[in-house]
Structure 1
């Protein structure tokens, strides 16, 4: 069971997030400020840290600096109302894996947590290529390759969508969350655009019957490998 350290100085929000994560099968330790969060981190060594930025006793950025020195690999997701570019840049410079602006949806947070937890377990082929059946997916170069054939170039959004499907392979990728992440809004028109992108990816992957993207009605999509 994945373990999460949740650090949030708004108790009502903290309890809501904690309960929602536990219902979905995560083990959650909760701290109400940065100093308590650091103590729990040292005691528990969680799989991932989800932390507010503006907290008493020890703010999220300072906490991240300490965690990075002690445990360079653990993913950190910031929850914050601060969305100025300088704040976002500083968060990533301190080693944040992700940055979620308040108010946020629980579905989006869960998708991002699962994506970050899945990164360390993603099997890779030569030169970091990800294997999808007979296909090789080069996410940084935005290329899909079947050995012995011409490469299929992908757009940035196609590559990001395929990466998220791969990170959640054999599990549901929630439609609303991926729309928020890649389109910025889950309105009707963006939803239709997402359907078009899913159709394109299915066409690119059609030559391997073991690789399928299926609809999960009312929820999202699942990449079957």
Structure 2
């Protein structure tokens, strides 16, 4: 059940690191991926990627050309994987030599595609890799107004203080996020999360809702309102 809840939402758009020095091909690829609802950061110089490795490196998957200026894609991949060992990578190359393929696989590449590639095929490969690494993708921080949720660590973070959630609180919060800005019936929540619906579980739900309201009290934009005889109305700020 908890695993299913994590799969209900993506905390943000999937962020792709694209490193490709060919201006025309890079632009076409970036635009196509964005049409497929990915967020793409395109770099033509690998040195620029190295500069953000320890600070702003918040990507879910990387697509690296092998032939790059100043540094080849394999060397860049080694530097990325040294900082983020489980980071999924796809290599792009204009060549189709066996040595390149073997080198990439030994580095731990998740896939390998020759240029010019079919953008639709690339998208299918990206989505296939993300399915296999779904755990990692879903554990990216989820922004909720002024707060951040780290589901795996059961942490709700805020500048004025952090809260360690119980598993039930985390599951309930993820369910509310999935149904953001909707009216939720009490029966649906109880049957989904508690798998039963009686007086005692109903009272338990009220306690957990009260706790969540308290946890989010530092952000007046966040609303969890009770609707008598119906359930709750949820309003979390939508973050990009």
Cα distance in 1, alignment partners of residues 43 and 60 from structure 2:
15
Match of 2:164 in 1: none
Cα distance in 1 for residues equivalent to 2:48 and 2:23: 14
1:68: which partner in 2? 81
Equivalent positions of 1:1-12 (< 5 A) are 1-12=13-24
Q: Could you tell me how far 1:33 is from its partner in structure 2?
A: 1.8
Aligned residue in 2 for 1:132: none
Unaligned runs of 5+ in 2: 1-12, 136-240
* TM-score after normalising by structure 1: 0.52
Q: Which residue of 2 aligns with 1:32?
A: 44
Match of 2:104 among 77, 87, 91: 91
Correspondent of 1:119 among 132, 135, 141: 132
- Kindly indicate whether the alpha-carbon contact (under 8 Å) linking 1:5 and 1:41 is maintained by their aligned counterparts in 2: no
Aligned residue in 2 for 1:205: none
**Alignment correspondent of 1:223:** none
Q: Deviations over 1:167-206 (max 9, x none)?
A: xxxxxxxxxxxxxxxxxxxxxxxxxxxxxxxxxxxxxxxx
Give the TM-score of the pair, scaled to structure 2: 0.49
Structure 1: gaps of 5 or more residues: 123-225
- Structure 1 residue ranges (4+ consecutive) displaced by more than 4 angstroms after TM superposition: none
Alignment: residue pair count = 122
Residues 64 and 95, structure 1, Cα contact 8 Å, conserved in 2: no
1:41 positional shift: 4.7
Cα distance in 2 between the residues matched to 1:83 and 1:19? 25
| Secondary structure, aligned partner of 2:32 | helix
Q: Any residues of structure 2 matched to 1:1-225 within 5 Å, and which?
A: 1-42=13-54, 43-121=56-134
Question: Matched residues in 1 for 2:30 and 2:53: separation?
Answer: 16
Shift of 1:45: 2.3
Q: Which residue of 2 aligns with 1:161?
A: none
Taking only aligned residues, the RMSD between alpha carbons, in angstroms, comes to 1.3
